[in-house]
Structure 1
Amino acid sequence: MFNPKYTISNQMLSQLSEIAEIKSIVERSKLLPKREVFLKRTSIIKMAHTSTSIEGNELQEYQVANVANGKKISGDQNQITEVTNYLSALGEINKISELKKNIAAKDILNIHKITMNGLVTSEKLGNWRKGPVYVVNILPSGKEEIAYSPPSFIHVSEHVSDLLDWLNSSDKIHPIIRTGLFHYQFETIHPFTDGNGRTGRLLSLLHLYQSDWDFKKILVLEDYYNRNRKAYYEALQTGKTFIERSDADLTNWLEYYVEGFLDEANNVKTRILTLSGASSSKERNVLDLDELKIVDFVLSLGQITSSDVVDILNVPQRTAQSKLKKLEDIKVLEKKGAGPATHYIIAGIA
């Protein structure tokens, strides 16, 4: 089983305490539904932009926003597909997190399949790699240098199983530390031919959601990594082989991870407090469970119809229309089209 070596430094203890205080502030904040939905929507766009950008995607954030809103953009089709896939994968981890179950190997394979659909050949899609892979650095001369050799493909399934066994039996480890260690080891195993970074970051986010450390699903750790990709990769690089990495001290990686978590948690606090201060006490600031399900659907897919609500909530058409009208009245959703073409999108913030 995965047996990580690390020390919780005084710096980490202080930062974890500060993060916990921010978490409490975020959870107690009274944010109007339309403003919370706005923050979630912008965070989803930023997650898709930054996580794909880390891997070399050149689309700008405004282009990713257009893709998320169902608009056509000009650009490299593979890069557009990377973004649409990532948005779909974010929707999938939302669904999995609501099931309140442990992450299983089939979840990992499914998330990879969604993330890499149309980007790799069918035999590589949602399947463990069947050959060697190498992580390389590009030298100033343009030549490639092998930076890391992951374990043999023969042992990938076994290593993933060991990692999941550890994850699902490590409830005494602080959720942030646990997630950071999981993220590190997943990238160390490198179970797929391509898409390991995106899949690993999605799985880490899923585990934070499952551990109730989601910060209203506004936290964007990928933005911290993307601001200095070199530092991100250097923090992960603790050895040139799987054996070296298995014996490495992960304290430096965890210090990097916790520092980034605190940085992004502070960003969440600033955004929430700024918008909370602009709220009117006369406006409703709570969504019921059905309304949250409707909003999560729109956040994932960009729009919703009354027929979608009928399917999601198993309610009559008239009830579905009534629920959508209420969300429109409190300016969470905005109605588009007419007749059979009627649909709802996230309303712009005012």
Structure 2
Amino acid sequence: MDVTRKMDEKEFREIEARLLSDKKMALEMTDDIFKKLNEQKPLTPPAVARLRDEMMLENTFDSNAIEGSRLTLRETVLVVKEGVRDGNGFRMKDVLAALGYARGFEVILDLADQEIPCDEDVIKRLHQYVMLGAFPEYCGVWRDHAVRVLGAAFKPAGFREIPQKMHDLVAWYQNEDAMHPIEKASRFHAEFETIHPFADGNGRTGRLLLNFMLVREGYWPANIRCQEDRERYYAALYSFQSRGNVDDLTALIAVREAEQLLYCLKIALQPEHARQGRSC
């Protein structure tokens, strides 16, 4: 498939359906687009800044919506970019979640630019942003009590096991060189969510970490969409937690990454004066 030509929404969705059921094909397509994007003239700094801003807003909206935030994408933009803090029936916890996640997203981009490795300190720091204004005693601190995740197919790690399990998970990530970067980040995400190391905010922290890992490998942030992906995302986590199979999650992340790369490629192929971003 020539990924450099214009692809309409219907065509991409038809391809997407096939890729979501085939991890190998999804990774191959992502690699193909990644290679073609890197063969182009680099995007201008203003274009990169605009793309990052769009992705920050979209990820903030979708990641929080997955966890139950009532803010729409437009309301998320109002909160994050225009300083709206109340009115229109906004719940304060949703406002704080948007502000915290947006800042955490900016931090992962900064850390990746500085080539800071993923370690336990980074994980705890990101959790502090996710938990902005809520449960200050638990912000950036490993869980110190037992929890049960309703409807889950797994039992989270016992709280006394968390320090060692997180140490081992980070060590595995830092030393694993053979696995495809997207599959590696997906497996880390699945393991992280299964350990459930924090009292709250594990999902949002895990998705920030996932994108931190992708960006450090030269990719663009991938967005797991609430409306389109939430059911598939949780089913993919269930597949890992019940059978140890990370293929479904890897395919989902690869498809969302391919989508972002394709969008960036189309912008890279445009004359610089015509490079416009999406409208939020």
TM-score (normalised: structure 1): 0.66
Letter in 1 for 2:52: K
Maintained 8 Å contact 2:143/2:159: yes
Is the alpha carbon distance of 1:249 and 1:204 closer, same or farther for their aligned partners in structure 2, counting shifts above 3 Å? same
Distance in 2 separating the partners of 1:136 and 1:248: 19
Maintained 8 Å contact 2:145/2:159: yes
Distance in 1 separating the partners of 2:31 and 2:278: 31
Task: Report the CA distance between 1:276 and its aligned residue.
Answer: 4.0
Q: Does 1:46 align with 2:58?
A: yes
What residue in structure 2 maps to residue 140 of structure 1?
none
Structure having the higher helix fraction is 2
**Number of paired residues?**
255
Letter in 2 for 1:233: Y
Q: Which runs of 5+ in 1 are unaligned?
A: 1-9, 138-145, 240-244, 286-331, 333-346
Tell me the percent identity.
24
Letter in 2 for 1:102: P
Q: Does 1:86 align with 2:75?
A: no
Letter in 2 for 1:237: Y
What residue in structure 1 maps to residue 81 of structure 2?
69
Structure having the higher strand fraction is 1
2:37 corresponds, among 26, 32, 51, to: 26
Distance in 1 separating the partners of 2:269 and 2:121: 43
2:69 corresponds, among 30, 50, 57, to: 57
1:264 corresponds, among 256, 262, 265, to: 256
- CA-to-aligned-CA distance 1:305-349 (integer Å, 9 cap, x gap): xxxxxxxxxxxxxxxxxxxxxxxxxxx9xxxxxxxxxxxxxx999
Maintained 8 Å contact 1:175/1:211: yes
What residue in structure 2 maps to residue 130 of structure 1?
144
Distance in 2 separating the partners of 1:19 and 1:129: 36
Task: Report the CA distance between 1:277 and its aligned residue.
Answer: 4.9
Task: Report the CA distance between 1:82 and its aligned residue.
Answer: 0.1
Larger radius of gyration: 1
Distance in 1 separating the partners of 2:24 and 2:63: 27
Distance in 1 separating the partners of 2:144 and 2:51: 41
Q: Which runs of 5+ in 2 are unaligned?
A: 1-20
Aligned ranges 1:135-174 → 2 under 5 Å: 135-137=149-151, 147-174=153-180
Task: Report the CA distance between 1:149 and its aligned residue.
Answer: 2.0
1:249 corresponds, among 241, 244, 250, to: 244
Task: Report the CA distance between 1:226 and its aligned residue.
Answer: 4.8
- CA-to-aligned-CA distance 1:126-169 (integer Å, 9 cap, x gap): 111111111113xxxxxxxx643212101111100010111011
Is the alpha carbon distance of 1:108 and 1:272 closer, same or farther for their aligned partners in structure 2, counting shifts above 3 Å? closer
Task: Report the CA distance between 1:211 and its aligned residue.
Answer: 1.9
Distance in 1 separating the partners of 2:78 and 2:141: 31
Distance in 2 separating the partners of 1:79 and 1:190: 22
Is the alpha carbon distance of 1:17 and 1:191 closer, same or farther for their aligned partners in structure 2, counting shifts above 3 Å? same
Task: Report the CA distance between 1:11 and its aligned residue.
Answer: 3.5
Maintained 8 Å contact 1:46/1:220: no
